[in-house]
Each structure stands twice: as structure tokens, then as C-alpha cells.
A = this chain, B = another copy of it.
Amino acid sequence: MHHTEIITLLQTEPSIHEINVKGWVRSFRSNRFIALNDGSTIKNLQCVVDFEKVDEEILKKITTGAAVSVTGVLVESQGQGQSVEVQVSEIEILGEANPEDVKLTILSPKRHTLEKLREQAHLRVRTNTFGAVMRIRSKLAFAVHEYFQKNGFYYMHAPIITGSDAEGAGEMFRVSSLDPKNPPLDEKGNVNYKEDFFEKETNLTVSGQLEAETYAMGLGKVYTFGPTFRAENSNTSRHLAEFWMIEPEIAFCDLAGNMDLAEDFIKYIINYALNHCADDLEFLENRLLEEEKSKPQAERSDMVLRDKLKFIIDNNFKRVSYTEAIDILKRSKPNQKKKFKYIIEEWGADLQSEHERFLVEKHFKCPVILFDYPAKIKAFYMRLNEDGKTVRAMDVLFPGIGEIVGGSQREERYDVLKQKITEMGIDEKELWWYLELRKFGTAVHSGFGLGFERMVQFVTGMGNIRDVIPYPRTPGNAEF
């Protein structure tokens, strides 16, 4: 008999017809009540066994973690917390789970630390927390695609292995097939990458933006959604060496349009999660409340998880120029009283996470878009303003997270861009193709990048970025 998923059964009316369901035993109470989960939803299906009719040997094997196939009829539930349950007529053990072995794993029914769960990342998706996080991650990813496709954007796969290291957004991972111990050398004694697979030095991409620009200048509106990499030795709860990034790029769009897009996009995907992940969000909301009980009042969140998400949707993001922000920060209490680690002394200072969070959480109390940053602290490709000292950059700052989106209008003027490239000491030859976009029908265009895991963290309320991606890659960690 074809099995039916639990997410479907829980919305099915009781009936005299037999159904079959397959899943993993979460618990087995009183030799009678199986809490069965198949991953389709966080909710378990209660399956009621008549132990007098089931072979003793089989009963013994109905243990936490075991995979079973259950046949029976769906009846109105006698217990609380579910509308239907299964009256079991037949049960088959598909795969056992020896209780002694289970005890040594995170499958055992007790509290495990998130650190412990990470060590058994191949099993953690079977827990309520990670099942919920990963279902939400999947829905959010789909919302990203749906948003852009509905709005006429084309999905573009930017290259992962790249021969250009022009962006200089941090240290890169080298990709090579050369003999690692005795690489061939050229006449100068340097590694001879001409003998490597790609006949040149190659790295893992840090951003698909420059390539996305080439596509925006042909298809109009494009977005990327792919893995990007940073070989930075940052062992924090906010950094991964491998993470997924979303980068829309739009021709004929200025910085104001770019801010509109970022705000609309973020609200869309958060709203999508609220509408499609109600059960998982409810679970994570309660999990957070539980977790916060052990914290002092001052460190607890103002809002519970779903209220925090609704707040984002219901409020306009406050748009503030960098110059205005510096004024606010200079006059702020933590600056005056030297509570900031980095005191804001003057215009031109790079903003730290503490400053961003002050603006968002204390001053404006809503998401903030900062724009028109000093050229000196931003990348070469950003559009220089007429004042000659600021660029059309924008960062979206979120409560609890800080920067969640970074973007800009791009420098579309050939001469200005060329000069910037020279000033920054980048080899112009590396960027011949990027410069050519400004030679053949250049136009105002803009885009931004959103680190997908940061967004998943925000929506799920998970404190550590390693807990929102299946197999996190960080310094010293590339297990599985």
C-alpha cells in the first residue's frame, strides 16, 4: 500500500479506509502510543497500538529512532494536541535502533547542547529544532526564487571557480590540481599555474556580483543564488567559510530603486515564512522563550519570534544617510560616555557592529537603511556622488544581526571607474571585461548582496550561524 505523509494525514478527515504511514519513532509510551515523525512536518502522528495483538518481539523493537511502517485507520483522537490518530492494525519494523547505541547519540530523548548536535550533524535534522530550521531554510530559499521570478528577474549562475580576484573582499581559497607537495615552478621559481587545470591561478568566488553585472546589462534584471567563500580565520557565531549568497543586479535602477527592492524583497520572504512555516516558527518561538528564561531580563528579546518578524513586515525601513548617522552616533550616550569600544570621533569612520546595533535597536527601533557612505571605506565599483567624497552605497541593518544587506549603485562611467581601479592598485587587465560594460551602452545599474544564512538566523532565531546550514564549514571544520 502506498504510504501517506503525516503532513497530509493531519489534515485528513477520519475514515474507515486503511492508510499506511512510514516514519521514525520519536517515543513509545505505555507499550501503546507511538509518536511517529516522518519529517514532512514538525508534528508527530500518534499511532495507537493494541499490544495484545502485536507480537512481543516486534513490540520490543518499537524504540526511539526506529523506522516503522504502520497500517491502520485514521480516527478522531481521544488525546489532546492532535485531531486525528491512527488505530494500528499492522506494524512492520523497517529499521531497528538499538537503545544502547541510541543512548550514545543525539537521538536519545534528552536535552543535548547545540555543540553536541553539531558533532552529529548527520543526525541532527531528526531533532525538532533542526527539522524546523531546515524546513524553514528550504521555504525561504524557495521564496527567494519565487519573489524574483514573479518580478521578472532571471536567475543567473555565477561561476564558483574564478580566475579573477578583483573584488578583494577578503582571503580566498585556492583551487588547484597541481601536485600539492612538489608543484611545478616557472623560470622565476614561482608556482607555474600554466600547468594547472585551468592554466592559471584560480580561487573560489567571494561574490558573483561582477559577473551578475554583465548579465544585468543584457537581460535587464538578474539575480544569483549560490555558494560563496571566505578563507578568513573568523571563529564567530556569525561567520562561515562557505555560505550562500543572493545577489540581484538591475539595469536602469538607481540607489533609491535599489533600496526599494531590498525592502520589498526582505518583507516578501519573511512574510512567506510566516505564511508557510507556522508550526515550525511556533516551535522555535517557544524554544527561544525557554532559552531566554535563563538569561537576565535585560538580555531578553523585546518581542517573541513571530512578533519580531511581523514587526519587520509592518514597518517602513528608516532611510538615513551615513552623515546623519555619524551625527547621531557622535551625540549618543554610549559615545559620550565612552561605552562604545570604538568611539566615533569624526566623519569617515567605519561603522562597527556596536554602532549599527545602537542605531537599529536603541535609536530608531526599526530596520535602518544607511546610504551614501564615504568612498574611502567602500569598494571600487560603487558610484561616486557629485560631492566627490561619498558613494551610492547602502547597508540594511537589522535588530540583533546588524548588516544583513550590502549594496550600491555601480559606477557606470568608464573614466571614473578606470581611475578608481588604478587608484586601488587593481590590475586593469584583470577587469577588461568589467570595464567594457561601460564602453558599450553603459547605464545606471544597482544591486545588493544578502547573506542567506544571516536571514535564516533572523527568521529562526538561531544564535549561531553554524546551526542554520546543514554542514557548516569553519576553521578546522569540514566534516561529512
Q: Which residues of A contact B (CB under 8 A)?
A: 3, 5, 7, 22-25, 38-40, 65-67, 69, 94-98, 101-102, 105, 107, 120-123, 125-126, 130-131, 134-135, 137-139, 141-142, 145, 149, 152, 154-164, 171, 173-178, 180-181, 183, 185, 190-191, 197-200, 202, 204, 211, 214-215, 217-221, 226-227, 229, 231, 233, 241-242, 244, 251-252, 412, 433-434, 436-444, 469-471, 473, 475-480
Contacts and interface: CB of A to CB of B under 8 A. Distances in A.
A69 B139 CA distance: 38
A132 to B, nearest CB: 11
Contact of A440 (B101, B142, B183, B442): B101
A241 B480 contact: no
Contacts of A171: 177
Nearest 6 pairs between A and B by C-beta? Answer: A95-B442, A125-B218, A39-B219, A39-B220, A67-B441, A198-B478
A218 B217 CA distance: 43
Nearest to A436: B122
A473 to B, nearest CB: 5
Contacts of A25: 441
Contacts of A479: 163, 433
B142 A155 contact: yes
Contacts of A98: 439
A296 to B, nearest CB: 35
Contact of A142 (B39, B149, B252): B149
Contacts of A94: 252, 441-444
Given A24-B441, A220-B5, A252-B3, A180 B173 contact: no
Contact of A441 (B95, B122, B131, B214): B95
Nearest to A243: B157
A148 B181 CA distance: 44
B161 A242 contact: yes
Contact of A7 (B131, B152, B163): B152
A89 to B, nearest CB: 19
B476 A198 contact: yes
A22 B445 CA distance: 12
Given A191-B181, A211-B470, A244 B441 contact: no
7 contacts: A39-B218, A95-B412, A122-B437, A131-B218, A164-B480, A197-B475, A211-B470
A40 B220 contact: yes
A138 to B, nearest CB: 4
Given A39-B218, A65-B441, A174-B177, 18 more contacts: A39-B154, A39-B219, A95-B443, A121-B214, A121-B433, A134-B156, A134-B219, A135-B154, A135-B219, A141-B157, A159-B473, A159-B478, A173-B176, A175-B175, A177-B231, A197-B231, A198-B478, A227-B227
Contacts of A215: 125, 134, 470
